[in-house]
């Protein structure tokens, strides 16, 4: 494949403390006469600071595992009513500070007006993040964060964060990171295109000669154009192709630069819902794209956001994750290159083009020359649906095939630094690996991780390898 140049990285606005994130000024201002009406960004984020709490035993009873009399430090938020949200996570100031303890939330459903049981948030401690020397990490906006949890439409929340107790023979008090706060994300509705009203100056052309559909912002056009010629500008999906057509499409898209060795082993392209198709608010991410040289490996993740979602809600889950990654974590875009829901639908993740080597923020230390695929859900004790695993096989057969990679093979990646391999270490790993292969983490959950060996075989078979 041809090389791709990285664009410069801009600076995005971080979420404000204790208030819903403000809309960009351009979205609030009245349009000039004859101009296209701006599209209001979907969704919102409430960021509420956590406060010190007394001993857990003196508070609301019934929190499992949090009744020890030796409580080093506890912060939280007493039960309160808030604006409607559907996804929740906890963040803190310094991304290099680890949170050792337990984070739990309970929420009140808008549909039933009842409170949920206490639920644990998975503590990430930077395992899903940009590499240590990446410009994305050095922006000054990046925070430490838990995994977010999808709770469905809710209007009440209570939070408890308890540090790990000190050793039994000491009185040392464990400390929590500074700046703890709860992030409450409303995904909003999908962004509709502004209807043509006869006042527009006419369609614009992008650099590829494609006509920009009415109502598309420049950011939307930039994201969509990255998928030319696989789909027209403004497409909601990239259609499925058989193996022969996938090969022809890939050769055409690479201007004939696809190697003879790679061409026979490109798997059939799966149907992929584009960012426009799932309603990404392109004004949130940083403009431009950052690419690496190739794709040598695929890291499989679970989003750890829970399994309590219907497949029809997957676009909303993805919009929430995107908003959390950008405004709460402080990343330039969604961390994953692709997402797969539990019904097997594949979604475009980080912007930059589904067939290109887009630099993600999914496996700290190994984002360069790799891609990240997140299966939406938590698969530590719950087995992943067969259709989701099959979708991972189909996606990797196509995308890895574009770069001449055998899904059953090994490859060598250079560590960018992490808790398993020092920076600069050359590490041999599977072309299809789990997140835990590059970082000490539970991700992608032991039940999904166990599905990777047959996934490698299935992916290679789809590529037509002997």
- Per-residue pLDDT of 239-250, as tens digits, reads 999 999 999 998
Residues 223 and 330 in one domain: yes
Structural domain ending residue among the three candidates 186, 211, 228 = 186
CB atoms within 10 A of CB 461: 15
pTM of the entire structure?
Answer: 0.84
Position 14 scores a pLDDT of 30
For residues 364 and 420, give the distance between their C-alpha atoms in angstroms, rounded to a whole number: 10
Q: How many angstroms separate the Cα of 101 from the Cα of each of 175, 281, 291, 408, 418? A: 9, 34, 36, 38, 20
In a domain, 239, yes or no: yes
Instruction: Compute, in degrees rounded to 10, the torsion defined by CA atoms 384, 385, 388, 390.
Output: 110
CATH value at residue 250: 3.40.80.10
In a domain, 112, yes or no: yes
Position 173 scores a pLDDT of 59
Residues 109 and 246 in one domain: no
Contact indicator for 134, 161 with CB cutoff of 8 Å:
no
For residues 112 and 202, give the distance between their C-alpha atoms in angstroms, rounded to a whole number: 48
Residues 228 and 179 in one domain: no
CATH value at residue 137: 2.60.120
* CA neighbor of 399 nearest in space, from 338, 440, 451, 441: 338
pLDDT over 90 for what percent of the chain?
A: 67
Q: How many angstroms separate the Cα of 222 from the Cα of each of 4, 161, 204, 225, 398? A: 15, 41, 13, 5, 24
Tokens of residue 55, six digits: 């001993």
In a domain, 302, yes or no: yes
Position 40 scores a pLDDT of 43
Tokens of residue 373, six digits: 């695929």
Structural domain ending residue among the three candidates 135, 163, 186 = 186
Average pLDDT value over all residues in the chain: 84
In a domain, 196, yes or no: no
Name the β-bridge partners of 372: 299
What's the maximum distance between 2 C-alpha atoms anywhere in the chain? Answer: 77
Position 125 scores a pLDDT of 66
Name the β-bridge partners of 427: 413
CB atoms within 10 A of CB 395: 24
Name the β-bridge partners of 101: 163
CA angle, 394 as apex, 389 and 396 as ends, to 5°? 95
In a domain, 129, yes or no: yes
CB atoms within 10 A of CB 371: 29
Residues 356 and 453 in one domain: yes
For residues 418 and 127, give the distance between their C-alpha atoms in angstroms, rounded to a whole number: 8
Contact indicator for 250, 258 with CB cutoff of 8 Å:
yes
For residue 241, give the 3-state DSSP assignment: coil
With a cut of 70, which residues of the chain have pLDDT below it? 1-42, 54-71, 125-128, 166-173, 191-211, 261
How many domains, in total, are found in the chain?
Answer: 2
Position 169 scores a pLDDT of 54
Position 132 scores a pLDDT of 78
Domain around 349: 219-463
In a domain, 8, yes or no: no
DSSP secondary structure letter of residue 116:
P
Structural domain ending residue among the three candidates 186, 206, 233 = 186
Give 279-338 pLDDT, tens digit per residue: 999 999 999 999 999 999 999 999 999 999 999 999 999 999 999 999 999 999 999 999
């Amino acid at each position: 494949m041809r090389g791709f140049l990285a664009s410069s990285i801009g600076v995005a606005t971080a979420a404000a403390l204790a208030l819903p994130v403000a809309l960009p000024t351009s979205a609030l201002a009245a349009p000039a006469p004859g101009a296209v009406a701006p599209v209001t960004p979907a969704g919102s984020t409430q960021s509420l600071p956590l406060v010190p709490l007394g001993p857990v035993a003196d508070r609301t009873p019934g929190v499992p595992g949090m009744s020890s009399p030796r409580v080093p430090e506890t912060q939280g938020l007493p039960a309160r009513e808030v604006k409607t949200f559907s996804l929740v996570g906890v963040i803190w100031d310094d991304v290099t500070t680890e949170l050792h303890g337990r984070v739990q939330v309970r929420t009140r459903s808008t549909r039933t007006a009842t409170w949920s049981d206490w639920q644990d948030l998975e503590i990430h401690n930077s395992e899903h993040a940009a590499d240590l020397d990446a410009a994305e990490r050095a922006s000054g906006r990046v925070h430490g964060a838990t995994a977010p949890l999808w709770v469905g439409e809710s209007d009440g929340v209570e939070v408890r964060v308890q540090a790990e107790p000190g050793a039994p023979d000491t009185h040392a008090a464990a400390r929590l990171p500074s700046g703890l706060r709860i992030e409450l994300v409303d995904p909003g509705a999908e962004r509709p295109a502004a209807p043509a009203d006869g006042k527009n100056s006419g369609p614009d052309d992008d650099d590829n000669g494609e006509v920009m559909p009415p109502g598309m912002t420049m950011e939307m056009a930039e994201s969509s154009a990255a998928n030319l010629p696989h789909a027209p500008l403004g497409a909601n999906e990239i259609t499925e192709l058989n193996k022969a057509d996938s090969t022809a499409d890939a050769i055409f898209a690479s201007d004939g630069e696809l190697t003879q060795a790679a061409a026979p082993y490109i798997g059939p392209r799966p149907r992929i819902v584009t960012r426009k198709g799932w309603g990404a608010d392109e004004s949130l991410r940083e403009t431009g794209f950052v690419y690496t040289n190739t794709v040598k490996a695929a890291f499989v993740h679970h989003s750890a956001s829970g399994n309590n979602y219907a497949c029809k809600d997957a676009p909303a889950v993805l919009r929430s994750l995107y908003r959390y990654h950008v405004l709460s974590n402080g990343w330039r875009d969604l961390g994953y290159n692709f997402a797969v829901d539990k019904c097997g639908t594949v979604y475009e993740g980080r912007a930059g083009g589904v067939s290109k080597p887009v630099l993600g923020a999914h496996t700290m230390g190994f984002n360069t020359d790799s891609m990240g695929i997140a299966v939406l859900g938590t698969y530590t004790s719950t087995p992943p649906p067969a259709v989701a695993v099959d979708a991972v096989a189909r996606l990797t057969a196509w995308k890895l095939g574009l770069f001449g990679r055998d899904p059953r093979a090994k490859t060598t990646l250079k560590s960018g630094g992490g808790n398993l391999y020092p920076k600069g270490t050359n590490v041999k790993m599977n072309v299809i690996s789990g997140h835990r292969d590059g970082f000490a983490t539970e991700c992608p959950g032991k039940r999904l991780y166990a599905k990777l060996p047959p996934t490698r075989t299935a992916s290679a078979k789809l590529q037509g390898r002997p």
